[in-house]
Structure 1
Amino acid sequence: MPQEQQPAHESGGLDHPQAERTLLNAASAPAKHLDRSFSAAEAQATVSARETPWQDSREACAVINGAWQGTWSMTGDAILQAPSTLAEAGVRERLISRWHALHPDISAGTSVQDFASDQQRALFALCSSYKDILLPAVPYPPSIAEPGAAMDAVLLHCMRHIGEAAATIKRNNDAQKREDAPEEAPRDQGFTRPKVLILQPTRNLAQATVLRMCQLAVQETRKDSIQHKQRFMDEFGEQQEEEADEMDEKAAKRKRQQKERLDSVRHGRLLDGNTDDFFRIGIKFTRGSVRLFVDFYDADVIVASPLGLATLLNDDSASADKEKAAASGDFLSSVEICVLDRADMMLMQNWAHVLSVFGALNRMPSEHHGADVMRVRHAYLDGQGSHLRQTVVLSSFAHPELNALLRRSCACIAGRAMLQQHFQGVLEGQALQLRQKFQQLPAASTKEAADARYAYFTRHIWLSMKDSGALGQLVFVPSYFDYVRLRNFMQAHNVTFAGMNEYATHSELARGRSYFADGRARVALLTERCLFYHHTRLSNIRDLVFYGLPDHPGFYADLVQMASSSRAAHSSQQHASVTVLFTKFDALQLSQTVGSDRASKMLKNSKSAFIIC
């Protein structure tokens, strides 16, 4: 069915466009962006600029730069103002009404008016600029029952975009029916219907996102206002467990202990509920209702995990026509907004799946899929659709992979914006009495860095560990691949060690902690993902080796605190220390750990060893 005839385009789940009025005389932000014309040379300039990121920084308005601790670096047009009200931003009355219903605590008399905070206001202004955005300063939520303030602003932007696109198509459909209609058809569509792709790491976070979008779209006054809602709640809600008295006693105790551990850590709420990472769902907004679980080619929004979408795109076994159409990835050909929420959590999964999804975005479709080619935007016909796509990345911390994603896979014609932070470090204000040695290793590439790390560990650190014969020697390893390398080394040298990684079972982890605590295993290997998912707490740590700095800066402080506590419990042990290996490629992790100023001095210094006490 050609897109201009599809019912969802008549309203996008909002009030009928003819009954709405836009509260700004100027064209809406979505229309300004999508109707923007650009030459092939301009598109190529956007691609070329990715190789020298953030060189063309522009001054942002005071509200945006003052909302976070840091400065926004931008390319493209400057953002001169941030709207105080949604009406000022040109948002339609229906969506404003739904927003107010969801945020009854927002006072119209405050300086931020329609927004919960200056940060939310600033982020909505950034989204409305249609720049690619990287915000690596989103705090962990106190609850996952609903999205945080940052994701709320992004979802408001997405719903506005869908509604404006639907209104434009409906308005053009009506104009085409008039006798005085222009001969040339309006260019107001893409090859396929899906306009928004939202990637979430787990079902619990996806559930909060989908429910929030439904709340912004419709008021649930009828049983069928949200179709297939019960199925959605069953599949994305928390899995029902057996009653405690019917469960195995050890399993019940283990579950309680794990929940207690998660409740005690900063990211614990992210792991509360259904944490399955394999899912995908299409959502269609029609007048007065929302349909869940629709075919992707009928969807306005696709919410999926990187794994769920990547496996579909890489499915070579598809046999039926419908399966082949999905595997082709054509439904991603005209995505106009792509959101990565909790990208930091995706780093704890397989990041290659994220890259696989981005590789499939905005490619020329392999089939027609019923689109009216006369109404497809020129940018899509010219293979320049990626320059119309806005990407929004939300993370709790900065990471080189996130920077690389924007540099290599995002080239929106509107430009880019990234929050540049000046880090204080995680050791500030903490009474950690251990001697911490930071050892810089020379390396000309990331591959050389991995080999240099292994060589230094096996030739220097391990010999010292072996000669000391001390118990309680913990080696923290950020990467599972490095973990395997060290595990094989330990096995080759007949070392009794406790291996704790993300693939270990609960019983294996418990056994490893016990062996390490009572000295049956004097060495332990611990991966970052194991610490993230299980928050493994260890006692009896006498020496702590960071084979590499953790991606989560808070994990460094956590582990050093564990070692410090162990030292206090064994005051006679004077040898306790911390050793950290790093290279120049770990500059970002180093800055978040020791602070930007200290990291800069360490990286520029001709010395290779630095002591922090």
Structure 2
Amino acid sequence: MDKANSPKTRLLTLLNVSAAKSTKRKRIFDEQSPRKLNKRREVSFSGSVDTREPEVSSQEEEPEVQTEESQPTDGEGDEEAEDEDLTAVEDTKDPYEQHFGAESSALSEAAKEAADAKEWTNSVVTHRKLGAVALSLPSGSSSPDWPGDWSSALLDRLKEPFHERQKKLRQEQRELQDDVLSTLSTYRDIYDPRTSLDIAPHTREAIALHALNHVSKKRRRVLKNNERLAHANKAGTPLPENVQDQGFTRPSVLILLPFRSSALKWLDALTAHTPSPHWQVENQARFRREFGLPEGVVDKLASAEPGTYPQDHVETFKGNVDDNFRVGIKLTRKSVRLFSEFYGSDIILASPLGLRMSIEKEKNSDFLSSIEMLVVDQIDALTMQNWEHVQFVFSHLNQLPKESHDTDFSRIKPWYLDGNAAYLRQTVLLSAYETPETRSLYNVQLKNVAGKLRTIRQCAPVQVPEGIDQNFMHFDCVNLKDEPNKRFNYFTTEILPAVMKSAVQSTNTAIFISSSFDFIRIQNHFRKMGYSFTVLSEYSSNQDISRARQAFFTGKKAFLLISERFHFYRRYKIRGIRNLIFYGAPDHPQFYTELLSFPFLDEDVEASDVTCRVLYSRYDWFRMERIAGTKGAAQLIKQT
């Protein structure tokens, strides 16, 4: 590694710059000022030591309901310690202490090297409701056994209300939550690409509970050490040395979501574990106003007759579907404060787009330097947005900060100072299905030395109208970089010429295209060749959509190009289709079934009147598995 760019060199630079910039900074342990231990404006129990106005704020800049400028430090004011059994944080068997303690038992040079080299020991195990799981451990890891004992790891103040909520659930739902929590308690990474609509709310509630437990334990540790330092300073005894309990900045949990409606669901899941009268949710009315639908607006999806829209479409798009948002959440002993400044927050709810715009505007992502738990929910929806935003956020996680933010470096955990935070961060990835992008994220970006696991499922073939002949057409490709060009060449030299020679197939033909890049490429080719066609894309206006559908149905246009994103966002039923060509199999398997059912919207259409071609290569495994089933896809891929 280049010495100039090593974590130690950058950290020393940061310390030097911080010392030069701060001329008004008070000594952390002033013997004459026992009440000014770790002094800063922002009340904090998770390790933040910011004394200035934050550089990056949440999207809305409306003033807080309560002013915090003059509030005292961690453990004072509304954060006093008497409500907690602070001796409990000394439990060295606590999974939190084992993994995130100052001397993490999971972190070792051998485990780090194995994670960097992608040298994982893999095994397949089965665990109740989670089913088959691929468990990956780096060599040299001393992580705890799986599954863990989540009940003993949960704080009593969170355990009791959760058990009361579980009593209202069915047995299989309780077991699912228990299994998720037992896995989370080991602080391993989790990748679940089979998060269906029926299990998503229960999984979300379990993860929210784990996140709250994590933040609360971090607070308890800081309060305990504040108390020890205050007593030592007052008694004039030597200050304790083992007080490393913080990161560079306060935020420790980041939850990435596609829509504001998703953030509303996560807020409900988080506050379900913080019931009143012991907890108060501040600025909740504002949150619901800005993250819900405007007053007087009727949600056509939620109010439509059952069956009008597919259920997955209703659950995804009902409510506020704005994809540009970020909001900080601060937890205190008695409240959940929404719209807190990022550097004064414990949890950040954000969309990848909203977070990226904030980082690029402020040219600073230091608030992501100490993220210890990352949740990425509804990844299937995020892939239909802009995947580069997700990659951008991941590239800014757990980096050494550019500024000190008046941090008390004597309180920072050693592995933060060594630049090892990424090796301990727990990441949870949730999706309805798997894509190469999400698998790459799991394989490349997740380096948790405690290990990581991925749920496995066997797919059955999707149901299509009986009698339709499905023609799966493979093309040879041995290099992933050549795949787009190989696909385009095969389509334009083999499939299209055959279609144009047929009087039946050269009209009423819909071409479904998954990739936006391929969609533009095919559109340009059709325009160049002078074919009669129209398009339905995610950028089509309502007027454009109406014209395109009418022109295709009446036969004025022979071809209809449909992008997968258009169908994802709009979910229109399209009439006039007799021939279907899938330039690539759709990511969403139900789209395949829906499109094959559209020809039968017209009267007197027989299955023999419908043709279907699916173009694929060996790199389409995930998509083909969801359509043809695991066994069927294996046979098809072998042909390549």
- TM-score tier by shorter-chain length is 0.7 to 0.9
- Aligned pairs for 1:113-512 (under 5 A) are 116-140=173-197, 148-179=201-232, 183-219=240-276, 225-241=280-296, 263-315=309-361, 324=362, 327-427=363-463, 430-470=464-504, 471-512=507-548
Q: Indicate the residue corresponding to 1:94 in structure 2.
A: 157
Deviations 1:265-311 (A, max 9, x none): 43321100100000000110112111111111100011000100012
Query: What is the distance in 2 between the residues matched to 1:265 and 1:586?
Result: 26
Distance change in 2, residues 1:549/1:263 (3 Å): same
Shift of 1:463: 1.4
Distance change in 2, residues 1:13/1:261 (3 Å): farther
8 Å CA contact 1:13–1:163 kept in 2: the answer is: no
Matched position secondary structure for 1:339: strand
8 Å CA contact 2:468–2:608 kept in 1: the answer is: no
Distance change in 2, residues 1:434/1:502 (3 Å): same
Query: What is the distance in 1 between the residues matched to 2:239 and 2:81?
Result: 27
Q: Indicate the residue corresponding to 1:246 in structure 2.
A: none
8 Å CA contact 2:148–2:185 kept in 1: the answer is: no
8 Å CA contact 2:510–2:559 kept in 1: the answer is: yes
Q: Indicate the residue corresponding to 2:15 in structure 1.
A: none
Query: What is the distance in 1 between the residues matched to 2:270 and 2:595?
Result: 39
Distance change in 2, residues 1:199/1:167 (3 Å): same
Q: Indicate the residue corresponding to 1:321 in structure 2.
A: none
Matched position secondary structure for 2:241: coil
Query: What is the distance in 2 between the residues matched to 1:42 and 1:255?
Result: 49
Query: What is the distance in 2 between the residues matched to 1:549 and 1:131?
Result: 33
> Is 131-140 or 73-82 further displaced after alignment?
73-82
Deviations 1:580-608 (A, max 9, x none): 11111111111111111121122223xx5
8 Å CA contact 1:190–1:376 kept in 2: the answer is: yes
Shift of 1:395: 0.6
Deviations 1:134-190 (A, max 9, x none): 001111259xxxx60111111111000000000011111112223366542421110
Q: Does 1:519 align with 2:555?
A: yes
8 Å CA contact 2:133–2:453 kept in 1: the answer is: no
Q: Does 1:555 align with 2:591?
A: yes
Q: Indicate the residue corresponding to 2:96 in structure 1.
A: 30
Matched position secondary structure for 2:406: coil
Q: Indicate the residue corresponding to 2:31 in structure 1.
A: none
Matched position secondary structure for 1:89: helix
8 Å CA contact 2:552–2:576 kept in 1: the answer is: yes
8 Å CA contact 1:432–1:560 kept in 2: the answer is: no
Q: Indicate the residue corresponding to 2:568 in structure 1.
A: 532
Matched position secondary structure for 1:531: helix
Distance change in 2, residues 1:14/1:274 (3 Å): farther
Distance change in 2, residues 1:494/1:13 (3 Å): farther
Query: What is the distance in 1 between the residues matched to 2:297 and 2:596?
Result: 38
Give the aligned residue type for 1:288: K
Deviations 1:12-46 (A, max 9, x none): 99995534786996632212110215344431221
Deviations 1:382-424 (A, max 9, x none): 1111111111001111111111012121111111110122212
Q: 1:56 aligns with which of 105, 121, 124?
A: 121
Shift of 1:359: 0.2
Query: What is the distance in 2 between the residues matched to 1:599 and 1:178?
Result: 67
Matched position secondary structure for 1:273: coil
Shift of 1:501: 0.8
Query: What is the distance in 2 between the residues matched to 1:454 and 1:59?
Result: 38
Give the aligned residue type for 1:168: R
Q: Indicate the residue corresponding to 1:318 in structure 2.
A: none
Shift of 1:7: 3.6
8 Å CA contact 1:74–1:416 kept in 2: the answer is: yes
Shift of 1:525: 0.6
Matched position secondary structure for 1:238: coil
Distance change in 2, residues 1:226/1:405 (3 Å): same
8 Å CA contact 1:137–1:396 kept in 2: the answer is: yes
Distance change in 2, residues 1:413/1:481 (3 Å): same
Per the normalisation by structure 1, the TM-score is 0.85
Query: What is the distance in 2 between the residues matched to 1:523 and 1:512?
Result: 10
8 Å CA contact 1:218–1:288 kept in 2: the answer is: no
Identity %: 27
Q: Indicate the residue corresponding to 2:112 in structure 1.
A: 43
Structure 1: tracts of 5 or more residues without a match: 244-251, 316-323, 609-613
8 Å CA contact 2:535–2:548 kept in 1: the answer is: yes
Q: Indicate the residue corresponding to 2:64 in structure 1.
A: none
Distance change in 2, residues 1:137/1:242 (3 Å): closer
Distance change in 2, residues 1:189/1:538 (3 Å): same
Q: Indicate the residue corresponding to 1:320 in structure 2.
A: none
8 Å CA contact 1:425–1:595 kept in 2: the answer is: yes
Matched position secondary structure for 1:32: helix
Distance change in 2, residues 1:340/1:472 (3 Å): same
Matched position secondary structure for 2:121: coil
Query: What is the distance in 2 between the residues matched to 1:98 and 1:264?
Result: 35
Matched position secondary structure for 2:312: coil
Distance change in 2, residues 1:437/1:258 (3 Å): farther
8 Å CA contact 2:166–2:174 kept in 1: the answer is: no
Distance change in 2, residues 1:138/1:103 (3 Å): same
Structure 2: tracts of 5 or more residues without a match: 1-24, 29-36, 46-73
Query: What is the distance in 2 between the residues matched to 1:465 and 1:383?
Result: 58
8 Å CA contact 1:13–1:290 kept in 2: the answer is: no
Give the aligned residue type for 1:33: H
8 Å CA contact 2:246–2:413 kept in 1: the answer is: yes
Q: Does 1:596 align with 2:612?
A: no
8 Å CA contact 1:262–1:268 kept in 2: the answer is: no
Matched position secondary structure for 1:117: helix
Distance change in 2, residues 1:587/1:16 (3 Å): farther
Query: What is the distance in 2 between the residues matched to 1:153 and 1:4?
Result: 34
Distance change in 2, residues 1:200/1:447 (3 Å): same
